[in-house]
Amino acid sequence: MKFDPIKMELGEGLPSNVIDDDEPNIINIHPSDAWATWRMELANQIEKTIAALVGTIIGRLLLLKMLCGTHI
């Protein structure tokens, strides 16, 4: 029998995806106002960055690449 250091370190093995009835399960996930605000601010920041880049040659090339895919 071979000595397997990983098995020895893990003991019984990796944890399974079996649900433990002793732990509460997540039933519903609702977005928070903080998450919605962060997401909107990020979208606005990305939009401003793209708008600023479009005015440059590099920005135009990057925009063209995004719109056409990677085969330009």
pLDDT-based confidence at 37, cuts 50/70/90?
very high
- Across the chain, what does the average pLDDT equal? 76
Mean of pLDDT values over 59-66: 78
Domain boundaries, the chain: 32-72
Look at the chain and count its residues.
72
Q: Which pLDDT score is estimated for 17?
A: 65
Asked if residue 53 lies in contact with residue 63, where contact means CB atoms within 8 angstroms, the answer is: yes
pTM confidence score: 0.42
More confident residue, 61 or 21: 61
